[in-house]
Structure 1
Amino acid sequence: MVTETVDVVLIGGGVMSATLGTFLSELQPDWKITVFERLSDVALESSNAWNNAGTGHAAMCELNYMPEGKDGSLDPTKAIGINEQFQQSRQLWSTLVERGILDAPSTFINSAPHMTFVRGEKDVSYLKRRYEILKDQPLFDGMEYSEDSRVINKWAPLLMQKRRKEDEPFAATRVPSGTDVDFGSLTHQLFKNLKQRGASVLTNTEVRSLKRMSDGTWRVRYRRSLGHTPAEIRAKFVFVGAGGWALKLLQNSGIPEIKGYGCFPIGGQWLMTSNPEIVAQHHAKVYSQASVGAPPMSVPHLDTRVVDGQTSVLFGPFATFTPKFLKQGNLTDIVTQVRPDNLGSMLKVAFTNFDLIKYLVSELAKNHKRKVDSLREFMPTAKDEDWQLLQAGQRAQVMKGGALQFGTEVVAHSDGSIAGLLGASPGASTAVSIMLKLLKTCFPDRIDGWAPTLTALIPSYGETLNDKPAAAAAETEATAKILEIHA
């Protein structure tokens, strides 16, 4: 039997595969690319607009990117790094808009000021110190701080109604240049372009196994969801961007780099309202501090959300638990991942994260009313009947070395022939930066030759902006103009 050989196989129809495919189609137009997605369409899991917060993560409002040290110190390095990564995403999207590859910017990105709102003396002190450090960083230009209820009321009226300063101190920061991103729409548009350029995008098709062949290619066995018709293809390079499913496929591939890894699934729910009276009073993404023991992805936030041109307000997320690694995964996922090389690490995580377990139990015990009670800590005037529950996406947090890790991590074979992505936030917002690092890791002999094309796509490629105030201002202003967002 003659099996077709392609240059690239991308497993998973999310924003990561779409971004990598976009890069490779620009860098090597002659390469044959095949994409496999087990569901009926792309962007139905984590990249779907309702499965994530849509925050253009730039560390302007998310406190977990700048935690307080044990000695009380604050280090802005990680926050600046996250912002640098989002600037690369803005630059690529701007280039693609100019080239007509992406549709009108409002179909996938809109302005939404990024705010942080905290209560209590300790958190107010922390937020003020954080502001004093970040306000002079070029990429955080325009950040504002206030403890004045009248000012905060102008920024986000829903936070202040029926709230009294004498009850407890509060403070907020605001960055007008924040964004709300519909990663589902962005993903669809990127895949549409890939198909127009000759890529094969196969939906309702599940990859079943990966095996390295003697000629150095990978045998990718798959089957159609309808009829379970089996087939196979050979690929010179494989990327596994299948969310929580990536761990299982990388384990199946047998690469030694995946040994020791495990995943802990955490789901979520939103409270959502489209009540025009409420929507009209809120135009921001407002983040706060996470509860004790809560994972960073569970930081409470009250968000403006624009999906398919319609604006709503979300609050959450509220953690849920299922053993599935994907929203449409299998109940056996958490068990079938277990291997001798990761069992010890997983048990250690179980015994050293009692705060997380306690938090999950408390979240699971909340009914609709108690969830709206949590919202009322943000929005004192919230009424139960205005809000409905939506199921958010499923995240598979990385476990390795006995620790539960947050963030994203690329796992690549030493020869660069296969790589996969594990983890979650900030994920989609920094997909461009993550895929640039993957290109450098997996194609070291080509990356220098690709530099001119990458620079044409991303003007600041290979450089940082925060240490160049003039360049930072010029690039943010240029991308804001093209993307039609606040500078």
Structure 2
Amino acid sequence: MNNRLTRSDVILIGAGIMSATLGSLLKELVPEWNITVLERLDKAGEESSNEWNNAGTGHASLCELNYTVEKTDGSIDISKAIKTNEEYQVSKQFWSYLVNSKLIRNPQDFIEPLPHMSLVQGEQNVSFLKKRHETMSKHPLFHGMEFSDRPEQLADWIPLIMKDRNGNEPIAATRIETGTDVNFGALTRMLFDHLKSKNVEMKFKHQVDGIKRAEDGSWELKVRNLENGAVERHAAKFVFIGAGGGSLHILQKSGIPEGRGIGGFPVSGIFMVCKKPEIVAQHHAKVYGKAPVGAPPMSVPHLDKRYIGNQESLFFGPFAGFSPKFLKFGSMFDLITSVKPNNLLTMLAAGVKNMSLTKYLIEQVLLSKEQRMEALREFVPNAKSEDWELVVAGQRVQVIKDTSAGKGILQFGTEVISAADGSIAALLGASPGASTAVSVMLEVIQRCFPEKLKEWEPKLKEMIPSFGISLSKNPELIQEIDAYTSKALGLGPKSHSSESMNDRKVVI
């Protein structure tokens, strides 16, 4: 064991989109801070952030039906959709700042404009979608959303889906052109390349085996070099655990009281992928449907065009599955070793409450390729098995905790867990994760560095012009930010002014 203690101001555990985002924000706010990144794999962005391990949707609530709920009085609650959209706008602002500052280049390498659509069948679902459209299209964040239940219009929007479609069941869709496809793996690698140029130390094949509080209040980490087996000691005043599904185990090792009673439930995913140019050319959108009854939200079926590297492809899925691993490259013992005395009852309660989910996951695991093709043919009636291949996506670990709603509640979304003194924070959960990474990391900064916020506020507003402002309450600002980010990220011409947001003061 190497007894030499390597000290940093900040340690980021995990080289995914979250650590890349937090590191990039902190390097702009305090360039002099010394930052070290620890990653157990041999390169950045290989787990949940990797482009083949997620759907690449820039989650802005433009197509995700599970972000809007029909209430008992028949009205549509779009509050979650508004929140998610605003958070995605924050991400686009920060990416635009990085591009305009020449800290990262070639935004087309990680983001492309792509229409987002919702598609439903059946009279009841069509009625829901129409009411959803009426509600959302009135809100400035969703300006330009179209609705149609006319087959000839749908055939123009989604020819591959409408071709050879039989039956008289009502069908309808909404469409909005301001959606995006995001290569989060490419973005993650670009951000870490930028950080390396700023002297951030990247230590790959380094696994955190232990973490404890030192007498001076800093955190001391026991880190194993997986190449040679050597054990190293690292310390920092602030530690961020952004290790995807691996975050829970490291959080538990920290022993902070805020991490007690929290469990995790892993869900794996499989996509069907088509790379044949003559088929890919017939579909230009991300089209989301409704999740089957009992399915987790991340299993909403969707047919997406993807831009990965220099190749266009189609993704369909995801089909959910179960593996006890918390990471794609994890251990079969991840789930069982995450069960501790302080979360045992919570985990047992979750197991009892989610029997239908467990049954659904088992059924999904047992599906043959042909059964998956039948699900695909509900979207693409003439899909041929030989044109599609199976790709195993990344693992997602949903948070389980006790809430006011009861014991052992399965949480969907992302959650920040931080110590009371702000010296350590962990990110748990899943979608819309990567799309809202900047907002989530700003939450980490606000929680963990409250004494610095006043000093950092001017820089934060330079990087994110809407920082501290509700976009929902400022429709004119929405237009300005949309024009600014569209120009910086190459997302197509807009009718609004393209004046740089960094050249003006936001006055509310």
TM-score (norm 1): 0.98
User: What amino acid maps onto 2:10 in structure 1?
Assistant: V
Match in the other structure for 1:167: 168
SS in 2 for 1:216: coil
2:4 and 2:400 map into 1 onto residues whose CA distance is 40
Alpha carbons of structure 1 residues 485 and 442: separation in structure 2 relative to 1, 3 Å = same
Match in the other structure for 2:284: 283
User: What amino acid maps onto 1:11 in structure 2?
Assistant: I
1:296 and 1:458 map into 2 onto residues whose CA distance is 30
2:481 and 2:24 map into 1 onto residues whose CA distance is 22
1:363-442 equivalent positions in 2, closer than 5 A: 363-401=364-402, 402-442=408-448
User: How far does residue 339 in structure 1 lie from its aligned partner after superposition?
Assistant: 1.0
2:253 and 2:73 map into 1 onto residues whose CA distance is 44
Report if the CA contact (8 A) 1:138-1:467 is conserved.
Answer: no
Alpha-carbon displacement from aligned partner over 1:370-429 (angstroms, at most 9, x marks no partner)? 101100001111111100000100001111111111000000000000000000000000
Range with bigger deviation, 306-315 or 409-418: 306-315
1:464 and 1:291 map into 2 onto residues whose CA distance is 34
Report if the CA contact (8 A) 1:298-1:317 is conserved.
Answer: yes
Alpha carbons of structure 1 residues 434 and 50: separation in structure 2 relative to 1, 3 Å = same
User: How far does residue 71 in structure 1 lie from its aligned partner after superposition?
Assistant: 4.3
Alpha-carbon displacement from aligned partner over 1:287-309 (angstroms, at most 9, x marks no partner)? 01000000000000000010112
Match in the other structure for 1:461: 467
Match in the other structure for 1:34: 36
Match in the other structure for 1:69: 71
User: What amino acid maps onto 2:353 in structure 1?
Assistant: T
1:288 and 1:240 map into 2 onto residues whose CA distance is 34
User: What amino acid maps onto 2:113 in structure 1?
Assistant: S
Q: Does 1:95 align with 2:97?
A: yes
Match in the other structure for 1:177: 178
User: What amino acid maps onto 1:6 in structure 2?
Assistant: S
Match in the other structure for 2:315: 314
User: What amino acid maps onto 1:256 in structure 2?
Assistant: P
User: How far does residue 70 in structure 1 lie from its aligned partner after superposition?
Assistant: 4.1
User: How far does residue 466 in structure 1 lie from its aligned partner after superposition?
Assistant: 2.2
Match in the other structure for 1:154: 156
Range with bigger deviation, 45-54 or 118-127: 118-127
Report if the CA contact (8 A) 2:4-2:232 is conserved.
Answer: no
Match in the other structure for 1:108: 110
Match in the other structure for 1:326: 327
SS in 1 for 2:63: coil
User: What amino acid maps onto 1:36 in structure 2?
Assistant: L
Match in the other structure for 1:304: 305
2:312 and 2:103 map into 1 onto residues whose CA distance is 25
Match in the other structure for 2:146: 144
Alpha-carbon displacement from aligned partner over 1:187-214 (angstroms, at most 9, x marks no partner)? 0010011111011010011111110011
Match in the other structure for 2:501: none
Alpha-carbon displacement from aligned partner over 1:241-297 (angstroms, at most 9, x marks no partner)? 001110000100000001110000000000001111111011100001000000000
Report if the CA contact (8 A) 1:111-1:178 is conserved.
Answer: yes
SS in 1 for 2:234: strand
User: What amino acid maps onto 1:131 in structure 2?
Assistant: H
User: How far does residue 325 in structure 1 lie from its aligned partner after superposition?
Assistant: 0.2
Aligned mate of 2:135, from 117, 130, 133: 133
Match in the other structure for 2:17: 15
Q: Does 1:272 align with 2:278?
A: no
Q: Does 1:482 align with 2:488?
A: yes
1:72 and 1:361 map into 2 onto residues whose CA distance is 34
1:204 and 1:314 map into 2 onto residues whose CA distance is 31
User: How far does residue 355 in structure 1 lie from its aligned partner after superposition?
Assistant: 1.9
User: What amino acid maps onto 1:143 in structure 2?
Assistant: M
Report if the CA contact (8 A) 1:286-1:303 is conserved.
Answer: yes
1:70 and 1:218 map into 2 onto residues whose CA distance is 49
Match in the other structure for 1:447: 453
1:89 and 1:133 map into 2 onto residues whose CA distance is 25
Aligned residues: 486
Report if the CA contact (8 A) 1:272-1:390 is conserved.
Answer: yes
Alpha-carbon displacement from aligned partner over 1:436-477 (angstroms, at most 9, x marks no partner)? 111000001001211111111111111121221111111111
Structure 2 unmatched ranges of 5 or more = 403-407, 495-508
1:327-366 equivalent positions in 2, closer than 5 A: 327-366=328-367
Alpha-carbon displacement from aligned partner over 1:83-130 (angstroms, at most 9, x marks no partner)? 000000111111111111222111000011000000011111111111
Range with bigger deviation, 351-360 or 180-189: 351-360
Alpha-carbon displacement from aligned partner over 1:149-196 (angstroms, at most 9, x marks no partner)? 1111111111111124x5200100001010000000000010011111
User: What amino acid maps onto 2:115 in structure 1?
Assistant: P
TM-score (norm 2): 0.94
Report if the CA contact (8 A) 2:38-2:203 is conserved.
Answer: yes
2:330 and 2:73 map into 1 onto residues whose CA distance is 43
Report if the CA contact (8 A) 1:292-1:355 is conserved.
Answer: no
User: How far does residue 357 in structure 1 lie from its aligned partner after superposition?
Assistant: 1.5
Report if the CA contact (8 A) 1:113-1:285 is conserved.
Answer: yes
SS in 2 for 1:4: strand
1:73 and 1:148 map into 2 onto residues whose CA distance is 24
1:73 and 1:140 map into 2 onto residues whose CA distance is 17
User: How far does residue 233 in structure 1 lie from its aligned partner after superposition?
Assistant: 1.1
1:286 and 1:382 map into 2 onto residues whose CA distance is 16
2:389 and 2:347 map into 1 onto residues whose CA distance is 35
SS in 2 for 1:450: helix
Report if the CA contact (8 A) 2:280-2:312 is conserved.
Answer: yes
Match in the other structure for 2:479: 473
1:359 and 1:322 map into 2 onto residues whose CA distance is 13
2:449 and 2:470 map into 1 onto residues whose CA distance is 22
User: How far does residue 69 in structure 1 lie from its aligned partner after superposition?
Assistant: 2.7
SS in 1 for 2:69: coil
Match in the other structure for 2:503: none
User: How far does residue 2 in structure 1 lie from its aligned partner after superposition?
Assistant: 4.5
1:423 and 1:448 map into 2 onto residues whose CA distance is 30
SS in 1 for 2:239: strand
